[in-house]
Every structure is written in structure tokens, then in C-alpha cells.
Structure 1
Amino acid sequence: MSRIAPKRVERVYSEAAPLGKSDRGFPTRRARTILRALAMMLACFSTAGASAAQPELPAWTPGYLYIHHISTGRGNAAYFVMPDGTTMLVDAGEADPEFIASVAPLKPFPPRPDGSHSAGYEIARYIRQFAPAGRPVTLDYAMITHFHTDHIGTITASSPLSANGNYRLAGITEVADLIPIGTLIDRAAPDYKVPLDLRGCSEGNDAKALQNYLGLVAFRLGRGQPVVGLHAGELDQIHLRKPQAFPEFHIRNVASSGVIWTGRGSETERYIPADAVKACRFDENPFSNVIKMTYGKFDYYAGGDIPGVPDYTQPYWRDVETPVAAVVGPVDVMTLDHHGNRDSTNGAILRALRPRVIIQQNWLSPQPGEEVVVRMASREFYSGPRDVFATGMSPETRIAIGPIMDRIYKSYSGHVVIRVAPGGGTYEVFILNDADVAHEVIAHFGPYQAD
């Protein structure tokens, strides 16, 4: 794939953008075609080592592990198809418009593919496209890392009621109405009393979203459908349908609700003091679920929004990354904690995990923080190459942070798919176009050797 000089792309864009606005203010078909082509070029702009684009992502077949980081422009969502076809969704976010307005002039990303449907609808549509063929589309597991709207969905006045009437449809509740979920996992089930009684918290949109989610929980429990908390330290609470067929595949629960695995058997320690939070308006991020997935030599880390860089006014336990890093160890692929915000991705976690591939799931212009990019690019924490792939990137962020980004970022937009070969010895990265629902491959990287 040929590389495109950024100044050339910017010049073409500036010349093409005025081409045609219709009398209603929308781009003409010609302009939309040009802008879509330019978006694809920008997505593949810094793709040293990328192979030629392929017409489509190879279909999942038994033995492969697929990890889809779905780009909606509105929050986190990752879809897993495991070696035996077991499926899992981690988060289904849709960012809160009131929060977005409150942080202006920071900007959210445009909704992908076009904003004509909710994020929950788009996540479900994506899953239907890439679900294992030959059987009904279901999710064996859906895990919510924590109760923020960009991970569970935002409730607004226009959010429709579920057919059963117990909750409104947004994010994970909408996905649950569109695709059957076997086991729903979160950080606080069954009693929802960590760090305090969550059922009594209703102020703010995050709390409203949580109460709505609890409506889904009540509906499921009333019908005998499992809702469970993630048990920190446990191995294979999330397990394959046919674990005996792939004994080299495991998921370790590393942390949940401030309890962290010690690295010894299934032993855990409470890291965040039980009395640390005394009021409902607290930050959910440190309580996020954290998992490590292993398939042979291949290791993958996902830590929700755990922070790692407290400011001077915050207690020690605001650094959750350091004790987590101590037990996770080296991985091949790491998702950035907290979307790459500046309170995350500290030196300890980079030094311990040493990821070859880093995935950034982001949706707001300050993501990533410049300090995070500098740390990711630094060879002081670990030597060797590293490739970073983002589901989206604000033009203002690229301009502000500058050329250091192009040293490590290989793609700046699109669905990021990890395809792990049978046995876990090698893996590839595919970037899928997020501007329409065809989801064609626009870049391909690898194969990488798993360590």
C-alpha cells in the first residue's frame, strides 16, 4: 500500500470540501464520495508494514480467536469470537450528550457509520454480520466493565421503552433486546453494594443509566437468566462452550470493584478500601473489571477505565494500573485503559505488559493525552517495536500532539480486528472501514509472532 503525504491529503481535503453542498446544507453525492475516499486514505496513512487491502475479513472458522473493537464514535464495544465459537461482548457504550456539552470546546467524534441509528443498534448489526455462521446469533456472555454511559449507554427522553416496559433501550439494554445474551456479567452483581448501595444512587446521567441497566437485570433475573458479578482472581469464570477442545485457552479475572488478583492461585486482596467512597457521585473508573485472555502463547489485556496516574489531591488507590500490571505480566495486545486519557497508561503498566500491539478505543478529542503518547513511544519502559491502532482520532489531537504519533500509530480510524491463528502462535490486525455497513478491509498488518 502506498503511503500518502499528510500535506497532500490536507490540501486535497481543503480543495474538495467546498465542492458541493446541496441546498439543504448536506454534501452532494460527489463530495461524499471524495470525502469517503479521503477518510479511507487517512485511516491507512501511516501504515508501514501494512499489506495490501483485502476485499473482506476472512470468516471465522473453528480454532481462530477474533477480537473486534467496534468503532461507533460513541463509546466502547468489543466483540469476541473464541476458538470454539463462544461469543462475548465487552461493553456497549453510547456517550452522554450532556457530558459532551459540559466539556466543550472538547469535541466528540462523529457517530459511525452515519448517526442514523443508535450505538446499540449498530453494535448489534455488526455482531450479526460477524457472528459464527450456521447457528442462531447469540451472545454467550456480555460483560460490562463499569457503569459509565460510554460503556453501558445513555438514557435520554427519546430512548424507547423495551417491549417488556421495564427499561429503556440504549447501549447494552438495546443490544440485549436485539440479541439473546446467555450470561450477563458486571462488576457489582448480585447485591450492587460496592462501594455503596448503587440502587439508591439516581443523580446524574451515569446514575440514571445504571438504574435503567438495573431494570434489565431485574427483568433477566425474573426469567431465570443469569446475571453475575466478575469474581476477581478466578480462572475461567468466562469459559468456552467446549473447554476440553482448546485447553490452551483461558480468561483470568484480574480485578473487579477494587479487588485485585495477587497472582497466586485465585487469591485476591482488597485494594480500594471498603470505606473509600461515602457518596453516590463517585468515579466508577477505579472499580472497572479487568481481564487477561490467553490462547497458547497469545495474551490479551483489557482493563476498562482503570486509572494509573493520580493527581496530587487523590489517594494512592487511584493508581490501579500499578498493582494490576504486577500480576498481568507481558502481553501481545493491550487495550489502552480509559481510552488513553491522561490519567491512564502509566510507566508501570507499559513496563510490565510490553505490548507489541496497542488498541485505543476512543471517542472524544482529548483522547489520547499527549503524556500517554509520549509514554507509549518511549523506549525507556520497554524496548522493541510497538504498533498502535485507534478506532478514531480527532484532527485537532493529531495536530496538537504532532509527529510523535506517526512514529507509533499505524491506523487512526476504523474497526480494529485481532485475528489469532489456531493455537495462538501468530496473529494479525485488520482495519475495517467504519464509514458504512459493508465493513470492507482497508488495511492489514502482520502476521505478528506471539510471545
Structure 2
Amino acid sequence: MRTSKSTYAIIFSLLAGIFLFVFSGCSLELSDAGSADQADGKQQGKQLKVYFLDVGQGASQLLVTPSGKTMLIDAGNNDKEQKMLDYMKKYRIDKLDVVIGTHPDADHIGGLDKVIDHIPVGAIYMPKVQSNTKTFESLLISIKNKGLKVKTAKSGLSWDLDDQVHVDMLAPTGTYEDTNNMSAVVKVTYGQNSFLLTGDAEAESEKDMIASGANLQADVLLVGHHGSNSSTTAKFLKQVHPKYAVIQVGEGNSYGHPKPKVLDRLQQQGVEVYRNDKQGTVEVTSDGRSIHIATER
């Protein structure tokens, strides 16, 4: 059946209306309410946990701070909705203080709607970019139904996730035609350790982050765009100078990720590489001075 141009216009208008609603009003403060039980023993010791969740050919990172504050960045594709809820149960997450949808691609935001439907959320950040897809529409509806207002993800934002863990948003630094370059890029610092989580940011965004003068150095790098040739340029990698890198990639994916050129670049810089397709979920623990890495397999 052929759909008329007027029908497409109506659908797009509805999406635009929801988008404007969820992005209206962008000031949300983190609350301590709901996290006390996590602080009372669910997080042992003074450790920051960063879980690079195995969601196949997609991306998702879950952070739990020493005081039990939580942040979820992305949530895999649509077919990983139940898996994401299972992860929340496994790690005993009963509230998410911060949620970040790095950009509208389905393999990053596909599972976020169900997570938001089932778990209380304090604040949500997304870049100000639309996508005319059912996946994006479903996420906006879940946000609206929870009465949340999206805070715009962009460079220059900075906040304390708790009194020991600091978050800096380094990108997007501007507006780009390619939604990958609109990816929210986050640097998380705990004591002497830091993590750079890059979404699908590509060479153009990487170049602008370097030009911004931001401190890009990090102990752990989430390799951009699943190890695609579009990302992790030599100049960017030199600036980050990581000890460890994690590639969120699905087993036997049709894209050929990660690309040999990117793997060679990492090897040449002596970076220790971990991959979801080979090792499952990668759990990185920091005590603020040293880093320990454990894998699912």
C-alpha cells in the first residue's frame, strides 16, 4: 500500500511535537532520594564500577559510583530490551540517577525506552538531534510518559555524579549533519583514573574535541563507533593515550567491526584491548588509583 506524502508529513509533525515537549525545560538536578539502599552495601568498598555491557552489535555502559550513584549510557538495540532489564536486575539497579542517549541510532537507544519504563530516572541527557524512526519515537514517548524533560547533551556540561566522581561532557562541540558526530562524549574522572566514553563520534568530532583544548587523556577508552575506520584517528588516540580500550561490538557482525586498521593503531600504541564479542561484558573497577579489569568469559 502506498503511503501519501501528507501521511508522512503528519507522522513527522507528531514526532517533532513530542521532541519539542521532551526537550522543553532542560534543568534537572540530581537527587539523593532512592539511592540510599545502593550506598548501604550494594557497592562494596570505595570503588567506581564501569560495566561495558554485552549487547551484541550495539553499545551500553553502566556506571556505579562508590556511594551508589548510577549512570547509564545507551542501551543497545531494540532486541536487547529484555537483556537490558536483566542487567538492571543483575546489578541491582533500582534507580538511575543519570541516563544518556548518545545519539539517535537504534543500536544505542533501542533498549532505553523499556529501561525508562521500568526504572526511575533522575536526569536524562540527549543531543538536540531528531530521527524520524519508530525507535526514536518510542523513546520520546517513554520519556514523556515518565514526565521527564531532556537536558541537552553538549560540550561544556560538567557535574559531580557523587562527591568523588566527576563527569565532563566533551562533545558534541557543535552541530553536524552526520548524527554519529552529534554523539555525546563523556569523560568520567575518579581520583587519578579516568574513562572516555565516545558513542559513535567520528573523525570530525574527534578533531573538534582536540581543537577545543579539552583534556582528553584517559586510562580507559571506549573505542568510537564500534571500531569503525571512521573513528579513533591517530591524532585523537595520541591525545587520549589510554592504557586500556574497550570495543563494543557484536560477534560475526556484517560491518567487519572492529577494522584491522583501528586494531593496528591500538596495538602500535601499546593499548590493551577488550571486546564484547570475544569476552562478553567487560567490568572495569577503579579505586581512584589503580584499575582492575574482569571479563565475562
| TM-score, normalised via structure 2 length | 0.79
Task: Give the counterpart of 2:209 among 324, 329, 332.
Answer: 324
Partner of 1:28: none
Task: Give the counterpart of 1:80 among 63, 86, 90.
Answer: 63
1:61 matched to 2:1: no
Contact 2:184-2:199 within 8 A present in 1 as well = yes
The C-alpha deviation readout for 1:305-344, integer Å capped at 9, x for no partner, is 0111xxxxxxxxxx21123245233210000000101111
Partner of 1:212: 138
The C-alpha deviation readout for 1:99-144, integer Å capped at 9, x for no partner, is xxxxxxxxxxxxxxxxxxx412111211221237xxxx11111110
Partner of 2:194: 299
Partner SS for 1:327: coil
Contact 2:220-2:242 within 8 A present in 1 as well = yes
Tell me which amino acid in the other structure corresponds to 1:150.
D
Shift of 1:360: 0.4
Contact 2:117-2:146 within 8 A present in 1 as well = no
Contact 1:416-1:432 within 8 A present in 2 as well = yes
The C-alpha deviation readout for 1:64-94, integer Å capped at 9, x for no partner, is 1000011121411111101211011110121
Task: Give the counterpart of 2:81 among 120, 138, 148.
Answer: 120
Contact 1:79-1:127 within 8 A present in 2 as well = no
Larger Cα-atom Rg: 1
Contact 1:361-1:391 within 8 A present in 2 as well = yes
Tell me which amino acid in the other structure corresponds to 1:344.
S
Contact 2:171-2:205 within 8 A present in 1 as well = no
Name the CA distance, whole Å, in 2 between partners of 1:85 and 1:322. 35
1:349 matched to 2:244: no
Name the CA distance, whole Å, in 2 between partners of 1:209 and 1:218. 14
Shift of 1:59: 6.5
Partner of 2:150: 227
Q: Percent identity?
A: 25
Partner of 2:166: 250
Partner SS for 2:146: helix
Name the CA distance, whole Å, in 1 between partners of 2:264 and 2:166. 32
Partner of 2:92: 131
Partner SS for 2:98: strand
Name the CA distance, whole Å, in 2 between partners of 1:208 and 1:177. 16
Tell me which amino acid in the other structure corresponds to 1:220.
K
1:183 matched to 2:123: yes
Task: Show structure 1 runs of 4+ deviating over 6 A.
Answer: none
Tell me which amino acid in the other structure corresponds to 1:79.
L
1:419 matched to 2:292: no
Partner SS for 2:237: helix
Partner of 1:23: none
Matches within 5 A, 1:36-51: none
Name the CA distance, whole Å, in 1 between partners of 2:285 and 2:227. 23
The C-alpha deviation readout for 1:418-442, integer Å capped at 9, x for no partner, is 0111xx0011001014xxxxxxxxx
Task: Give the counterpart of 2:183 among 277, 288, 291.
Answer: 288
Q: Which runs of 5+ in 1 are unaligned?
A: 1-57, 96-117, 154-170, 189-193, 260-269, 278-282, 309-318, 380-384, 393-411, 434-451
Name the CA distance, whole Å, in 2 between partners of 1:187 and 1:61. 34
Partner SS for 2:77: coil
Name the CA distance, whole Å, in 1 between partners of 2:60 and 2:120. 17
Name the CA distance, whole Å, in 2 between partners of 1:298 and 1:229. 26
Shift of 1:285: 0.2
Name the CA distance, whole Å, in 1 between partners of 2:271 and 2:229. 19
Name the CA distance, whole Å, in 2 between partners of 1:217 and 1:229. 14
Tell me which amino acid in the other structure corresponds to 2:224.
D
Name the CA distance, whole Å, in 2 between partners of 1:377 and 1:142. 32
Partner SS for 1:141: strand
Name the CA distance, whole Å, in 1 between partners of 2:183 and 2:54. 21
Task: Give the counterpart of 2:292 among 400, 408, 428.
Answer: 428
Partner SS for 1:425: coil
Indicate the structure with greater helix content. 2
Partner of 1:46: none
Task: Give the number of aligned pairs.
Answer: 252
Shift of 1:231: 4.1
Name the CA distance, whole Å, in 2 between partners of 1:373 and 1:231. 29
Tell me which amino acid in the other structure corresponds to 1:186.
M
Tell me which amino acid in the other structure corresponds to 2:166.
H
Contact 1:250-1:294 within 8 A present in 2 as well = yes
Matches within 5 A, 1:147-186: 147-153=104-110, 171-186=111-126
Partner SS for 1:320: helix
Shift of 1:349: 1.1
Partner SS for 1:71: coil
Q: Which runs of 5+ in 2 are unaligned?
A: 1-40
| TM-score, normalised via structure 1 length | 0.53
Name the CA distance, whole Å, in 1 between partners of 2:184 and 2:224. 11
Tell me which amino acid in the other structure corresponds to 1:149.
A
Contact 1:220-1:227 within 8 A present in 2 as well = no
Contact 1:62-1:84 within 8 A present in 2 as well = no
Partner of 1:29: none
1:140 matched to 2:77: no
The C-alpha deviation readout for 1:357-413, integer Å capped at 9, x for no partner, is 00000122411111111211124xxxxx32100000xxxxxxxxxxxxxxxxxxx22
Contact 1:71-1:415 within 8 A present in 2 as well = yes
Contact 1:220-1:226 within 8 A present in 2 as well = no
Contact 1:62-1:85 within 8 A present in 2 as well = no
The C-alpha deviation readout for 1:213-268, integer Å capped at 9, x for no partner, is 221232233xxx343222421221x622xx2xx3xx21111113xx2xxxxxxxxx
Name the CA distance, whole Å, in 2 between partners of 1:286 and 1:386. 24
